[in-house]
């Protein structure tokens, strides 16, 4: 790149950065389109609408209530992936949707059991949602053609089966439309009379289409008839202070990381810092453009993506320095450095992207929100590292910044004997895992739970209190929350204000009758509250069994897909198995950290573990990429030496990337409110653990598998 192109490139980058700063901070037009303040925030950060329904049936079964909660959860996610649905008492179901102010706009759709209908061509409604017991996607073999076909199998109630038999007998050769939310989602043609109440929908193009149809039918068929009890606008669970401190922490962390990159990596560090700022602006812009809801788990996804953006730049710069050490010349070193960094960046990001995409489509609630922000961040981080950083570095060279001292030259380092110390390193990891498992066993015996589950997992008590005066959420945090925590023993108390009233909603772990009476007496005595305006209600967990199952299934599928991808890319399943074992090692240690430090396990727990999974696999891939490269360049490879050399070559990258990501989370921990600290602490532990496993464990695991399997092959 010549001087003119260099100047032009930097001017374009400056305009891009300036434009992003302007749009994200101020916005465009009267509506401030694109401004960061317009990004939708979740219930934990900004509040939303709370709607409570009651089952018309006075004695609904536990199964029907659980089924209705799950289906309402899926419906509510149509408004926001961060919606929460939970049972309140024996008959009530509460729904909280962020980013919505008009409760009337969603009341009828959410609670109506008749949003699903099976309608004949003459307009007769044959079935409604309550007539369908189940709907499952599957495959069958066509008896005529012997080809596999995708189907949806339904089961109807006994009463509905009789109605459907009459309808199918009268409509052979004609379609019966399946209508969901006033939209025709399928029009299967009746081929024969169906008398057993188990119709099968055929002629579906793909399994995904069958699954989508089955899901729409399931969530369109509520098990219970519901009636609205109340609807109200509620404030943020974490309060406005959580938002301001998180934003401040993000800005400070980003500034520290940018400064760190410049000081350590000189001119390429400046290019990386500029690319990182552009990445941040693009992320905010895309979150706004796609109308995504940002919550605390979503912030974790952004932090992880920032860490990966830094990592990609560190890998590139390290490669350039290595090429300079071989006296290739600056321009050639930059070109070759980017080329050699590409496989590690692609493999590391793609494996994490696999996790994000599967969680996005298979997960629900906070898991899906986390996955969305992570996926966006990964794509943008790869773009800024591979395109923006490259352009800026070449622009600097075009302007005459060709002194190699401005880029730094890699120093020759003697390989550290990690492989020779593997027994000690493995022993330390096993000891840490056993400490965590031992703590969980002790907690299970003494408390009945292996971890300190919060109300998100166990359910608890919702206390509605009408105050004598209007207090801000900060005043409530300072005055009322300490009293609640003292009585309940729950340090993870959630408080929400009901907009336009003096009413507040306090959510804690389950309170005994004595605790409820004590809390009522304390509130009446210390805050002059009318005891008749203090009402208690038991609530179910906001993370339902189905949501947990969705998350577990999604993670299992993601791990299998990662294993297959790594196997394919490295042409050796031992790399894949070692990566998955290192990942399991990190997850077990972080779970143990939760147990040992008695950190409450809530909805952010899942997001935290998923962050560690993404971070850990990326760090491990970088090490494995070096092992692969060194294996290819060695005619008679000394495997322990190759592991030692590979880990040593990536050691600086592992330390610096972990340090910069740790800084981002540490600032969040220092400045954040208590619930944010409880989220940031295990993330910091996971970052340290991920660095440990990528440096000390992953390579040695591969070595053990390689040598052990090789011996077995020879013995055969």
Give the per-residue pLDDT at 590.
Answer: 92
Q: Which helix (H) or strand (E) holds 506?
A: strand 503-509
Cβ-in-10-Å burial (0-12, 13-18, 19+) of 409 comes to middle
pLDDT tens across 292-336, in order? 767 766 776 677 677 777 888 888 998 898 888 888 888 899 999
Q: Which residues contact 198 (CB under 8 A, 6 or more apart)?
A: 153, 154, 155, 156
715: pLDDT confidence band, cut at 50, 70 and 90? very low
Residue with tokens 């491990």: 620
How many residues are there in the chain?
A: 716
539 and 87 in contact (C-beta within 8 Å)? yes
pLDDT in tens, 283-293: 888 877 776 76
Check: CB of residue 522 under 8 Å from CB of residue 435. no
**What per-residue confidence (pLDDT) applies to 427?**
96
pLDDT of 463: 87
In contact, 265 and 320? CB cutoff 8 Å: no
What's the pTM?
A: 0.71
Residues 297, 246: contact at Cβ < 8 Å? no
Nearest CA to 279 among 310, 247, 257, 251?
310
- Name residues whose C-beta falls within 8 Å of residue 128's C-beta, 6 or more positions apart in sequence: 113, 114, 116, 117, 118, 221
The helix, strand and coil proportions of the chain, stated in percent and rounded to the nearest 5, come to 60, 15, 25
Say yes or no to pLDDT of 220 above 90: no
SS3 248: helix
Instruction: Take residue 556 and report the two structure tokens written for it.
Output: 């299992």
Per-residue confidence band for 236, with pLDDT thresholds at 50, 70 and 90: low
Confidence of residue 88 (pLDDT cuts 50, 70, 90): confident
Mean pLDDT within 663-685: 81
- pLDDT greater at residue 442 or residue 144: 442
pLDDT computed for residue 107 by the predictor:
59
Q: In which band, very low, low, confident or very high, does the pLDDT at 242 lie, cut at 50, 70 and 90?
A: low
Q: Which two tokens stand for residue 337?
A: 């450095």
* CB proximity list for 532: less than 8 A, separation 6 or greater: none
């Amino acid at each position: 790149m010549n001087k003119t192109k260099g100047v032009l490139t930097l001017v374009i980058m400056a305009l891009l950065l300036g434009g992003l700063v302007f749009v994200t901070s101020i916005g465009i037009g009267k509506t401030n389109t694109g401004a960061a303040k317009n990004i939708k925030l979740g219930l934990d950060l900004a509040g939303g609408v709370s709607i409570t329904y009651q089952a018309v049936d006075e004695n609904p079964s536990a199964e029907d209530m659980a089924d209705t909660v799950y289906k309402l959860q899926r419906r509510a996610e149509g408004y926001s992936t961060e919606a929460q649905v939970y049972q309140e008492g024996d008959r009530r179901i509460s729904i909280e949707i962020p980013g919505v102010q008009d409760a009337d706009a969603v009341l009828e759709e959410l609670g109506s059991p008749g949003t699903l209908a099976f309608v004949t061509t003459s307009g007769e409604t044959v079935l409604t949602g309550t007539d369908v017991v189940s709907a499952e996607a599957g495959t069958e073999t066509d008896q005529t053609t012997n080809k596999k076909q995708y189907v949806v199998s339904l089961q109807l109630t006994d009463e509905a089966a009789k109605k459907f038999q009459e309808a199918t007998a009268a409509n052979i050769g004609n379609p019966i439309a399946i209508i969901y939310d006033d939209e025709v989602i399928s029009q299967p043609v009746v081929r024969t009379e169906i008398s057993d109440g188990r119709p099968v929908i055929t002629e579906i193009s793909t399994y995904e289409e069958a699954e989508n149809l089955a899901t729409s039918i399931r969530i369109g068929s509520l098990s219970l008839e519901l009636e609205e009890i109340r609807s109200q606008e509620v404030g943020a669970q974490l309060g406005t202070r959580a938002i301001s401190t998180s934003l401040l922490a993000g800005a400070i962390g980003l500034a520290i990381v940018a400064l760190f990159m410049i000081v350590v990596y000189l001119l390429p560090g400046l290019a990386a810092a500029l690319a990182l700022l552009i990445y941040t602006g693009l992320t905010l812009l895309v979150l706004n453009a796609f109308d995504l809801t940002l919550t605390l788990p979503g912030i974790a996804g952004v932090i992880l993506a920032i860490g990966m953006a830094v990592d990609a730049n560190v890998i590139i710069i390290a490669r350039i320095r290595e090429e300079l050490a071989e006296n290739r010349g600056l321009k050639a070193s930059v070109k070759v450095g980017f080329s050699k960094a590409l496989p590690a960046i692609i493999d590391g990001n793609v494996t994490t992207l696999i996790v994000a995409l599967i969680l996005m489509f298979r997960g629900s609630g906070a898991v899906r929100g986390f996955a969305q922000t992570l996926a966006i961040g990964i794509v943008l981080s790869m773009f800024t590292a591979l395109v923006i950083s490259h352009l800026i570095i070449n622009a600097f060279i075009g302007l005459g910044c060709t002194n190699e001292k401005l880029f730094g030259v890699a120093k020759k380092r003697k390989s550290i004997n990690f492989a020779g110390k593997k027994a000690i390193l493995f022993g330390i990891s096993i000891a840490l895992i056993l400490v965590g498992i031992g703590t969980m066993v002790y907690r299970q015996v003494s408390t009945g739970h292996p971890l300190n589950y919060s109300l998100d997992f166990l359910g608890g008590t919702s206390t509605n209190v009408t105050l004598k005066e209007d207090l801000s959420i900060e005043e409530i945090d300072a005055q009322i929350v300490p009293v609640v925590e003292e009585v309940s023993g729950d340090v993870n108390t959630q408080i929400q204000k009901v907009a336009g009233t003096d009413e507040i909603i306090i959510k804690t772990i389950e309170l005994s009758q004595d605790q409820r009476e004590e809390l009522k007496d304390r509130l009446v005595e210390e805050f002059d509250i009318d005891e008749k305006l203090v009402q208690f209600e038991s609530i179910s967990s906001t993370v339902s069994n189905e949501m947990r199952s969705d998350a577990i299934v999604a993670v299992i599928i993601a791990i299998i897909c990662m294993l297959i991808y790594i196997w394919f890319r490295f042409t050796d399943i031992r790399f894949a198995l070692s990566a998955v074992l290192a990942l399991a090692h990190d997850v077990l240690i972080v779970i143990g950290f939760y147990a040992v430090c008695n950190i409450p396990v809530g909805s952010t727990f899942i997001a935290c573990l998923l962050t560690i999974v993404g971070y850990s696999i990326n760090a491990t891939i970088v090490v494995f990429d070096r092992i692969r490269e060194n294996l290819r360049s060695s005619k008679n490879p000394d495997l322990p030496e190759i592991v030692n050399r590979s880990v040593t070559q990536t050691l600086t990258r592992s330390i610096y990337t972990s340090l910069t990501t740790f800084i981002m989370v540490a600032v969040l921990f220092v400045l954040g409110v208590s619930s944010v600290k409880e989220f940031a602490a295990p993330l910091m532990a996971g970052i340290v653990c991920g660095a440990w496993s990528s440096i000390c464990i992953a390579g040695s695991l591969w070595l053990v598998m390689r040598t052990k399997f090789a011996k077995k092959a020879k013995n055969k």
